[in-house]
Structure formats: structure tokens, C-alpha cells
């Protein structure tokens, strides 16, 4: 094992040697060329030549190997704040034979990790921080928390050799640095090639180190707890993702924030036990290229082989953090800053989220109906008027050409059900009944069932529109009710973005959202490196803040586009309802936020299908 740790450490140090060799391959030819020139000529052209070659390569190498220490957002917890938690951490460090972390920080992710302030690609260590996810503290018993903390500190154990902690630090830093090396970096090809060699040399020791960390976790918390962490950590991470996507995301996009995010996650944990079992039964995803962990099956087999030989320390459950709900609320303030969103209770949060989503769907549908009808169609009452006049089916045939008659009728009924539901909410004749395990249901104020689908089926036929109006009036639903003037405005969902496009001959960044395109005046080429960061900030900001980030931005709603054509790859033409046109062209330095090019293609394809 000593040979393996020395091989890993030597391969890590070889990164610096590889960088020096690449620099020397540039420096030596330049010096040879300058030595063949006279002193005056060498002085006149030497400085520009050195800057153009040696300087560029040196900067490229520094840029490739430079990395910033990640700083997850969280709440630091001192020894005074949580003495029991710190006692657990100190115990784990003692079993691992390493020093305890300098700081413990509680974060929002379902994760636990120890990060050192490493320098020189991990060859030199520094301050050590433990980041512990609040979802782990909510979901796990003390034994599992002991196991996960002991495993993370076990990475720094010297049991496999004095250089083992350095080897782990370097592996983590290299895994963070190499994927970030740009394809355009002149030093990148050589460094990526050496990284592949380093990974092969380091792999045996990496596996041994991870298995040792599992053993240390078993020694401190017991093999069952260590195995439970391996099975449950991916499950808990998956459940957090479900919570963000299904419970938190819609209302967040709608401009609201729950008053207790982590309290809501605790309710999801209790309500979705069956989903947890399903997630636990799934096969583990294969490790990524730079993941230091061997396959989970191998790790579980190694833990099973320990039997009862490992030392366990069982004890009564104790409160590791005195006020966990209060800590959750404090963490919410830093991890989920409201940024102008309205804080509400969970019930109101879910209702607002669903209502705003319906408003967005209705606005797009009504804009299409207005365009085809040739007159404004703003509420359910306007659609009922079209039905009474016998025009609704003809308009629907124009909107959905080629569909069978029964399917077109089903689309109309579905749309009218949506509009009647909004009218009922606006008339205070309906409310949302939320479920932590299923979808929300629209019910009458007293909780009774509300059959708006049946009323919509009556309303789409000219002969029964009057009957539908009478039944709606009996329920207290005003079909003409519109959105409140001061109601929450839908927050468009960001789909993607592309910077440095040419729109109508001007350098422009384009943010694609679910309701249209934001056209953001582009930055000068001298600030090209800041374009993607600025567009990402623009996408994350609230509407009032966007003007400060990118003045004179323009929004083009899909409803205002009457025709769209993809001229060629990365080239589009849009025709607007006012007779104007937009030409969108890619440029040599155009670049995308994640999914940007595909989002533009799909937006134009959608517009061309529906226009």
C-alpha cells in the first residue's frame, strides 16, 4: 500500500512538472530564436515575442490549474451552539486519526463533505471545513450521522501512509480543475492527457482509501449504520430534488416563498415514505469520471465482510442541535433569499403556484384565440360568447388544423375548464385543497366537489351555453372575472440562453423563457468573458432588478409572433404582429447557457407549428 500512496503522490506532483515542461517547450525555442539575433533587434522584437508566446502559455497554464475553494452557503455552528454535534465530530476525527475540522457549517443540500483550503493542486493543505446538510439532520438518526461524518474525515486518515491525506486532497482538486479546462486553452490538451494518466495511476489507491473510509465509519457507528448511509444518501438527495422540483419550484417561479422551507421538507419525508422505498430499491448510478468512490455494491460487500468485528458505540438518541427548526429558518434566509418574493404559508404557497401556472397557460391560449378571432378574447365570458355565436368550433379548427373533430372538441373543453377554474378562483367561489402526497384539487369554499369539467362540456355547445351560465351563477362564479390588477404576475420559467447573437444587426444576448424571448443588449467584445455571467444574473433576477443589470432590454412575447422560420443552422427569422421582423443570427463568438441553442430551435419550431 505504501507503494500505491507514493505512486499517487508522485503522479499528483507530476502535474506541476507537466505544466513546467509545456512552458519550457515554448520558452526554449523563443530563447534560441532571440540568441541568433543582434542585441538591438532582439530587444526590439523580444518583448512582443515573449508576451505573444511565453506570456500566453504561462497564463494559459495558470488559468488551467487555478481553482477557487468552493464555499457552500450555510450557517456556521460553533462548539457553544451545538456541543453534542461537535462531540460527535471530534469522536469521528479521533477514530480516523486525523484532526477535527476547524469549522462546521450546516447547508441546504442532502450531503456531507469535508473541504480543505488546499494549495498547489492539494500538495499543501490548509483550513478544514465540514459541511453537513440539514436534510441529513432532519432525516437520520445519530448512528447514521456518525457514520457519514466519520467517512468524510476518514479520507484524511494516515492509516494507509503519511502521504494519504495529500493524495486525497490532490485527487479532489484535480477532479475539480480538469473538467473546467477550456477546449480553447492552448495548455489544455497536454494537461488533460496527463490527467488521464494520473487517474489510472491513482485509481487503485483511491479505491483503497474509500474502502478504508467506509471501515472507519463502521468502527465509529457500526457496519449497519455505515451501510445504511450508502443506501440512503442517494435516496435522500433524490427526494430533495423532487421536493425542489415539485413542491418548491412552481411557487418560487410564481413570485412566492414558503415561510418554512425545511419544515415543508420534513412533511414530505413523512408523507412520501413509499416513494423513499422506491428510490431505495433503484440501482445506484455508476460513478462519474472523477468520482473517488468505487461502486456501491463493492462497498456494501466490504462492509458485510466486517461482521461484528468492528467496534460499535451505541447510545441513546440525543439532540445534536438544540433548535433544529430555528436553524432551518436561519438557513433559509441565506440559502433561499426571497429577492422580492412574498413569504406565505405552505397552503397559500401551493395555491398561488398552481393559480399562476394556470394564468400563464390561459394567457397564451387566449392570445391565440384573439389572433384567430380578430377581436380581444380576455375571459371565460368572451369564450362563452364565441360559443353562443357558433364561432368557437370554427376558431378551434383553425388553431388545431388536421385534428379529428372529437379531439378538437376535447381541446376546447379542456381550455374552457381551465378558464372556468380561474373564474371560480377570482370570484372566491373555489379554493385549493392541497395534498403532500398527490395533486392539489380545486373544491368549493366548503370543501365540496366542484364539477367544472361538466359545466365546460355544456358551455362549448351553442344550445347549452345559457344553461351553463345559469349553473355558474348558482355557484357564484362570474365568467367575466379577470385577474386582479395587483395580483402576482407570473414569473417566466427560464429555458435557456445564448450570448453574442446578432439581432437586427446589433450584438444581443437572448434569454429564452416559456412565454417569449428577452433581448438583452450585448456587451462589447472587450467584455466577452462577462457575457454569460451577466445573462445568468439577468435570468435569476426579479423583474425590477433586470433593468439595472441590463438596461434597455426588450421582451418579445410568443403571442406577438405571427410567423417563425429557421433559415439555416443558428439563423432564424421572426415576423411580428405589428408587421415588424426580427432577424436572429449566430456569430463566431456566440456561446450558450446550458441548453441555449436547443431552446432557441425548439422555440422557433413551436412557433412555426402553431402559426
Query: What are 469-479's pLDDT values in tens digits?
Result: 999 999 999 99
> Which one has a higher pLDDT value, 435 or 318?
435
E-strand stretches of 247-304: 256-258
When the pLDDT of each residue in the chain is averaged and rounded to a whole number, the result is 80
pLDDT of residue 469: 92
Q: Are 125 and 69 in contact, with CB atoms under 8 Å apart? A: no
Long-range contacts, stretch 190-196, CB < 8 angstroms, 24+ apart: 190/18, 190/22, 191/15, 191/18, 191/19, 191/22, 191/61, 191/64, 191/65, 194/14, 194/15, 194/18, 195/15
- Distance CA(408)–CA(599), nearest Å, equals 28
Q: How many residues can be counted in the chain?
A: 611
pLDDT of residue 130: 93
User: Which pLDDT band holds residue 10 (cuts at 50, 70, 90)?
Assistant: low
Written as nine digits, the cell of 505 is 444587426
Cβ neighbours of residue 413 under 8 Å, at least 6 residues apart? 453, 456, 457, 460
Instruction: Give 468-524 pLDDT, tens digit per residue.
Output: 999 999 999 999 988 765 454 555 678 889 999 999 889 999 999 877 889 999 988
**Per-residue b/e over 145-183, b at no fewer than 16 CB within 10 Å?**
bbbbbbbbbbbbbeebbebbbbbbbbbbbbbbbbeebee
Q: What is the mean pLDDT of residues 163-180?
A: 70
User: Which pLDDT band holds residue 67 (cuts at 50, 70, 90)?
Assistant: low
User: Which pLDDT band holds residue 94 (cuts at 50, 70, 90)?
Assistant: very high
Instruction: Give 70-86 pLDDT, tens digit per residue.
Output: 678 899 999 999 999 99
- Distance CA(350)–CA(357), nearest Å, equals 11
Q: Does residue 26 register a pLDDT over 50?
A: yes
Question: For the ranges 125-129, 186-190, 560-564, which has the lowest average pLDDT?
Answer: 186-190
Q: Does residue 178 register a pLDDT over 70?
A: no
pLDDT of residue 310: 47
- What is the model's pTM? 0.68
Q: What is the mean pLDDT of residues 538-567?
A: 79
Amino acid at each position: 500500500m505504501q507503494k500505491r500512496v507514493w505512486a499517487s503522490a508522485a503522479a499528483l506532483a507530476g502535474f506541476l512538472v507537466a505544466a513546467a515542461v509545456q512552458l519550457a517547450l515554448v520558452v526554449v525555442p523563443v530563447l534560441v530564436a532571440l540568441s541568433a539575433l543582434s542585441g538591438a533587434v532582439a530587444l526590439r522584437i523580444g518583448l512582443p515575442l515573449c508576451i505573444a508566446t511565453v506570456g500566453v502559455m504561462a497564463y494559459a497554464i495558470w488559468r488551467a490549474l487555478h481553482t477557487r475553494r468552493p464555499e457552500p452557503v450555510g450557517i456556521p455552528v460553533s462548539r457553544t451552539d451545538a456541543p453534542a454535534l461537535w462531540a460527535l465530530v471530534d469522536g469521528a476525527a479521533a477514530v480516523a486519526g486525523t484532526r477535527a475540522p476547524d469549522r462546521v457549517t450546516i447547508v441546504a443540500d442532502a450531503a456531507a463533505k469535508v473541504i480543505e483550503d488546499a494549495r498547489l493542486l492539494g500538495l499543501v493543505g490548509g483550513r478544514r471545513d465540514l459541511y453537513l446538510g440539514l436534510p441529513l439532520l432532519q432525516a437520520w438518526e445519530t448512528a447514521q450521522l456518525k457514520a457519514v461524518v466519520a467517512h468524510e474525515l476518514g479520507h484524511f486518515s494516515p492509516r494507509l501512509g503519511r502521504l494519504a491525506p495529500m493524495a486525497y486532497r490532490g485527487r479532489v482538486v484535480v477532479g475539480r480543475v480538469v473538467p473546467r479546462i477550456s477546449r480553447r486553452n492552448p495548455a489544455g490538451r497536454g494537461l488533460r492527457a496527463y490527467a488521464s494518466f494520473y487517474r489510472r495511476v491513482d485509481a487503485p489507491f483511491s479505491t483503497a482509501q474509500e474502502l478504508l473510509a467506509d471501515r472507519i465509519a463502521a468502527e465509529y457507528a457500526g457496519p449497519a449504520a455505515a451501510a445504511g448511509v450508502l443506501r440512503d444518501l442517494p435516496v435522500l438527495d433524490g427526494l430533495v430534488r423532487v421536493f425542489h422540483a415539485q413542491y418548491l419550484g412552481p411557487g418560487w417561479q410564481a413570485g412566492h416563498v414558503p415561510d418554512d422551507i425545511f419544515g415543508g421538507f420534513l412533511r414530505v419525508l413523512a408523507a412520501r415514505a413509499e416513494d423513499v422505498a422506491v428510490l431505495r430499491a433503484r440501482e445506484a448510478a455508476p460513478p462519474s469520471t472523477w468520482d473517488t468512490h468505487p461502486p456501491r455494491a463493492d462497498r456494501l460487500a466490504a462492509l458485510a465482510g466486517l461482521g461484528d468485528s468492528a467496534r460499535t458505540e451505541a447510545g441513546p438518541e440525543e439532540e445534536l442541535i438544540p433548535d433544529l427548526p430555528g436553524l432551518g429558518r436561519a438557513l433559509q434566509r441565506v440559502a433561499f433569499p426571497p429577492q422580492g418574493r412574498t413569504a406565505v404559508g405552505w397552503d397559500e404557497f401551493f395555491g398561488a403556484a398552481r393559480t399562476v401556472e394556470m394564468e400563464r397557460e390561459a394567457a397564451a391560449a387566449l392570445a391565440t384565440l384573439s389572433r384567430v378571432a380578430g377581436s380581444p378574447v380576455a375571459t371565460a365570458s368572451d369564450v362563452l360568447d364565441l360559443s353562443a355565436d357558433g364561432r368557437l368550433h370554427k376558431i378551434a379548427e383553425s388553431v388545431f388544423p388536421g385534428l379529428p373533430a372529437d379531439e378538437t372538441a376535447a381541446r376546447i373543453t379542456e381550455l374552457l375548464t381551465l378558464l372556468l377554474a380561474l373564474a371560480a378562483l377570482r370570484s372566491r367561489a373555489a379554493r385549493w385543497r392541497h395534498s403532500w402526497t398527490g395533486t392539489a384539487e380545486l373544491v368549493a369554499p366548503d370543501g365540496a366537489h366542484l364539477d367544472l369539467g361538466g359545466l365546460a362540456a355544456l358551455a362549448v355547445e351553442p344550445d347549452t351555453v345559457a344553461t351553463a351560465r345559469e349553473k355558474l351563477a348558482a355557484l357564484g362564479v362570474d365568467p367575466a372575472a379577470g385577474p386582479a390588477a395587483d395580483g402576482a404576475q407570473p414569473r417566466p420559467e427560464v429555458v435557456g440562453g445564448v450570448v453574442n447573437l446578432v439581432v437586427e444587426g446589433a450584438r444581443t444576448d437572448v434569454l429564452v423563457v416559456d412565454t417569449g424571448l428577452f433581448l438583452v443588449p450585448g456587451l462589447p467584445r472587450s467584455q466577452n468573458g462577462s457575457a454569460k455571467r451577466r445573462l445568468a444574473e439577468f435570468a435569476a433576477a426579479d423583474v425590477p432588478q433586470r433593468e439595472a443589470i441590463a438596461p434597455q432590454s426588450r421582451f418579445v412575447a410568443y403571442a406577438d409572433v405571427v410567423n417563425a422560420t429557421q433559415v439555416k443552422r443558428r439563423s432564424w427569422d421572426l415576423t411580428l404582429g405589428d408587421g415588424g421582423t426580427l432577424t436572429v443570427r449566430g456569430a463566431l463568438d456566440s456561446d450558450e447557457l446550458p441548453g441555449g441553442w436547443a431552446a432557441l430551435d425548439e422555440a422557433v419550431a413551436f412557433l412555426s407549428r402553431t402559426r
